[in-house]
A and B are shown apart, each in its own frame.
Chain A
Amino acid sequence: MFPINETMGQYSELFMLLAAGTYTVAFIAFAWDLAKSSKALRAVDLKAAAAAEAMAKVPVTAGAGAGAAVDRAAVDRAESDVSGPAGRAERPSSAIGRVSPGGAGAAGQTADAGMRYAAERRVPARVAVALTVLGAAIHGAGVVTRAVGAGRVPWGNMYEFLTTGAFVAVAVFLLVLVRRDLRFLGTFVIGLAIIMLVAASVAYWTPVGHLVPALQSYWLIIHVSIAVISSALFTLTFAMSALQLVQAHRQKTIAAGGADKLGFMRLVPSALSLENLSYRINAVAFVGWTFTLMFGAIWAEKAWGRFWGWDTKEVWTFVIWVVYAGYLHARATRGWTGTRAAWLSIVGYLCVIFNFTIVNQFFNGLHSYSGL
């Protein structure tokens, strides 16, 4: 057992505060990006619409129509009672690449369906990402100094779950950003990270300390780290599923000729693209959660002598697993893709949150050693 280094612990807390501050500025930049882009995009759209009106005495056909038709199809999906071949044909995720070619303005869609970076520069978004990277670096230093201060992995109590969890959520977000333009999720992810850091410092503050014997196991390293990474991925998909619902609603309204009240959603890809990418992330996270469950069971066998005992924490881990298994099934069940699958993804995440907050604090079980 390594000795405790309180000075390191104090540095860590300082880093956490600095990180929260940096994130706050990043959050503002992300929000500014949404507001600004939505204004700029609206202006562009207005111009395009005027131009289109001039040409469009003709019924919509082929090329130009493709976008509209596809969006309509997506709307059908969103209604989710579509069971005919039309709905199914939309299904293959490989189709994302070709959703609404050139049909950008058609249904208030500007964002890239494949979630790749477009050529257009979004200065506030760049600033926001840069600040997020800076914040994450400081945050990372906070996590590392905490680990050094306590002489062990930095996830042994609620304070550490929150601070390290927030770091992993931001890190996963940044990693995905390398390949996909998910900057539209910035306000959400960074907002959540700020909440977690603040909650950790205010409600769950715990000085550096040794682990209780029940936690002294290499399974703590394996089991909890996988749980945290999976949860971070679920966080992304939760945000995407929520946006998917909003976007589906908006697409439907627009397709029905309604006014576009949610201009900032232009920055967000179509409901179908969101669904497809969140499915892929959820699949990874589900495998991770399966490991969390299994390793948890192995650890429980080592620590308590039974691998499964329906302890509250075990119950909720199981419930989460089953809900996401349901989600994967829903994606293969007619009439359950689209909106309903998104709801399942959201419900799954709410269970994750519940498992982490309420169960850790208010339920008595063998897991009640979260440092409170």
Chain B
Amino acid sequence: MSERVNEKNNPAPENTAHKTGADKAGADKTAATPVAKAKAEAALPTLGIKGMLRWAWTQLTSMRTALFLLLLLAVAAVPGSLFPQRPANPSIVTQYIADHPDYGKILDSLQLYDVYSSAWFSAIYILLFISLIGCVVPRAIAHYKAMRSQPPRTPARLSRLPEYGTLVIPADAGIPASRAIADAAAKLKKRGYRVDVRNDDAARPSLGAERGFLKEVGNLVFHTSLIGVLVSVAAGGLFGYSGQRILVEGDTFVNTLVGYDQFTPGTNFESSQLQPYSIQLDKFQITFDRESKGKFGQPIDFKADVTTKENPDAPAEKQVLKVNDPVSLGGTSIYLTGNGYAPVVTIRDGAGNVAMQGPVVAKLQGDNYYSSVVIKVPDARPDQLGFAGFFLPTAFVTEEGVSFSGDPELINPQLTLNSYFGDLGLDAGSPQNVFELDVKKLTPLNARNLDAGGITLAPGSSYTLPDGKGSISFDGVKRYIGVDIHHNPGQLYALIFALLAVAGLVTSLYVNRRRVWVRTGTHQDGRTMVEYGLLARGEDHRLAAEAETIRGLLADEWGLESGQNNSQNAPSTQGDNGPADRSGNPVSAEPPTEDFIQSTAGSHESKKDQ
């Protein structure tokens, strides 16, 4: 690949671009033949297994393939944003499949609900990274060699280079060709070039100089770091874990497997990884927007005061947990991800004993903390009890009897419940959703359509269930928070590699790799003729400016006026970069170097060549 890079910038020996149309057509024809020949050769089936593999490898690591795979990766990432994704929310996927009986299953078999872990997505990025490695390794070797070798030999015709210029030192200055080349070498060295002077005692000494090796280093660092990022992300998946827990004010979470409401281990997770720290929610406060009209009553600040202990024996520490501001503890980070109200109730059973007492987490359903409540009382005797209904922090009832919450704060809290008795089905041990009550096998006690009616409770009030089944009292309201707990050991490395990648990228894009050649010679009339040419590797829009700077440096050195080139210095108003190249030197195409050095001192026509 490095060859290709070379080629793209080297001036072509037969530059058809600058011929007239007729010439060009002719050139194209001749050019076509070798191509056809090459094609015919490529089609010959003489490769054999080894050859085939080599061919496949060359194809895979070609720039064209890299480009193709990159674009494919972009396209392949899109469906993940169009269809619901299992890792994000499995229940939505189940719902989606149910809603689309015609094609929902087909999409599933195509792994379109798990795009980012699907076989095809993985195949693309794995191929891309293999290609990347196949690209980076040879390039790194080639670059290592390039950094240790001398700049390439001086081209015979400097005038063919993209930037070319000449200087003439008058005979009376007393600077011979050999000294001129030494001066130029010194100047270029000072400018950061690596310089190699060739046959400096011959009649026409020259030098080759190169700088900007960091560009390629940057490119290599960039691409290698991408591999680093990928590996770090994979490692995080293997060794990390995450879980969720709901904490009502007063609750304490201890970092053990049973402490979690939900736990997702990485592939290589071991429970010994969990450090048994604890975190207690002391108080949770929300600030609601009371200023703006459009968003009146929207929460604008969440603040959880917590007490943490690094391990059971460590001293307690007060900390604040906020959105965007996680608490770090025992190698994990704890995030505030949700909140709501938890009405505190006491339920007595038919036998008159307290069957349940404590806060019940109400699940958010609508505006202003309109939340659903499910209470299961498996300990109630003689019959188990169940309650389902709603909690409203600020209850309002419309004329049609629909209740809603008018404000997120506890202005008029109300608990409206239906009650049931029977077998809750919990004794069988099969897991149940705590936020749902399956009433199919239960007998209703209280409901709006029953004689007994529904239960409506304000804080401090209680209600006796019909048929002597027990009672329920609404003691008060607490707040709860939902926290996510994450441990991702790959994260830090991903960040480091990402930063390295950016550094490499910037270096690669903004360091310019350039080569300069200078050749000097003595004219018959005693003047010392100097010519120089510049070549960039890769994009370099400042090459002309660099040529101008070098010209200035050399001219200063020899006391010449840098602008006073000769007829070559046809002013170009179309300079690209800075005033420097306003006086850019259109490069002469035809006359060979020898002509300039030995006789002509700037008599060729201004013609462009690049």
Contact = CB atoms under 8 A, between A and B. Distances in A.
A1 B301 contact: yes
B542 interface: yes
Contacts of A336: 64, 67
B216 to A, nearest CB: 13
Interface in B51-104: 63-64, 66-67, 70-71, 73-74, 77-78, 80-81, 85, 87-88
Contact of B575 (A68, A114, A315): A114
Interface in A270-295: 276, 279-280, 283, 286-287, 290-291, 294
Contact of B337 (A68, A305, A311): A305
Interface stretch (A43-51, A211-219, A239-247): A211-219
A209 B575 contact: no
B586 interface: yes
B576 A326 contact: no
B15 A1 contact: no
B551 to A, nearest CB: 14
Nearest to B116: A310
A230 B540 CA distance: 22
B352 interface: no
Nearest to A283: B509
B111 interface: no
B97 to A, nearest CB: 17
Interface in B1-48: 4-5, 7-9, 11-22, 24, 31
Of A85, A100, A279, the most chain B CB neighbours within 10 A belong to A85
Contacts of B506: 287
Interface string A301-344: 11111111111100110110011011001111111100000001
A319 B12 CA distance: 37
Given A97-B575, A304-B335, A315 B80 contact: yes
Contacts of A315: 77-78, 80-81
A279 B20 CA distance: 29
Interface residues of B, number: 96
A198 interface: no
Nearest to A363: B81
Interface in A92-123: 92-101, 112-114, 116, 118
B572 interface: yes
Contacts of B74: 319, 322-323, 326
B607 A63 contact: yes
Interface in B592-610: 605-608, 610
B320 interface: no
B574 A114 contact: yes
A138 B583 CA distance: 40
Contacts of A210: 289, 291-292, 295, 298, 300
A209 B539 contact: no
Given A73-B17, A316-B81, A298 B495 contact: yes
Nearest to B287: A1
Interface in A192-218: 206-214, 216-217
Majority-rule SS of A interface residues = helix
B529 interface: no
Contacts of A112: 573-574
B367 interface: no
B505 interface: yes
Interface string A56-68: 0001111101101
Given A209-B289, A287-B502, A90 B17 contact: yes
Contacts of A319: 74, 77-78
B574 A294 contact: no
B491 A307 contact: yes
A94 B541 contact: yes
A92 B509 CA distance: 14
Given A72-B24, A322-B73, A333 B63 contact: yes
A94 B544 contact: yes
A209 B81 contact: no
Contacts of B291: 3-4, 209-210
Contacts of B584: 97-98
- Residues of A in contact with B, size category: 35 or more
A312 B85 CA distance: 10
Contacts of B17: 69-70, 72-73, 76, 86-87, 89-90
Nearest to B545: A94
A88 interface: yes
Given A89-B11, A95-B610, A212 B335 contact: no
A209 B292 contact: yes
Contact of B294 (A70, A206, A308): A206
Interface in B562-598: 570, 572-577, 581, 584, 586
A91 interface: yes
Given A89-B17, A101-B586, A207-B294, 11 more contacts: A4-B291, A60-B20, A62-B605, A89-B12, A89-B15, A95-B610, A209-B298, A280-B541, A310-B85, A315-B80, A315-B81
A69 B324 contact: no
B456 interface: no
Contacts of B498: 294, 297
B408 interface: no
A172 interface: no
A55 B322 CA distance: 80
B167 interface: no
A112 to B, nearest CB: 6
A287 B574 contact: no
B323 interface: yes
Nearest to A94: B543
Nearest to A88: B8
Contacts of B436: none
Given A94-B536, A98-B586, A302-B326, A322 B70 contact: yes
B458 interface: no
B295 A209 contact: yes
A177 interface: no
Contacts of A116: 573-575
A176 interface: no
What are the nearest 4 A-B pairs in CB distance?
A85-B12, A94-B543, A97-B576, A209-B292
Interface in B245-267: none
A84 interface: yes
A329 B574 contact: no
A25 interface: no
Contact of B81 (A301, A304, A330, A359): A359
A96 B536 CA distance: 14
Contacts of B326: 302, 305
Of A96, A99, A213, A312, the most chain B CB neighbours within 10 A belong to A213
Contacts of B586: 98, 101
Nearest to A205: B294
Nearest to A284: B509
Nearest to B18: A69
24 contacts: A1-B300, A4-B291, A59-B22, A63-B607, A69-B17, A69-B24, A89-B15, A92-B540, A94-B541, A98-B608, A99-B574, A113-B576, A118-B573, A209-B289, A209-B295, A294-B502, A302-B326, A303-B323, A304-B484, A305-B484, A315-B78, A315-B81, A316-B81, A332-B5
B160 to A, nearest CB: 10
Contacts of A307: 488, 491, 494-495
B293 interface: yes
Nearest to A95: B610
A339 to B, nearest CB: 15
Nearest to A348: B74
Nearest to B541: A93
B192 interface: no
Nearest to B488: A306
A315 B74 CA distance: 9
A216 B323 contact: yes
Contact of B324 (A214, A291, A294, A334): A214
A92 B610 contact: yes
Contacts of A363: 81
Contacts of A323: 71, 74
A237 B115 CA distance: 31
Interface string B158-200: 0000110000000000000000000000000000000000000
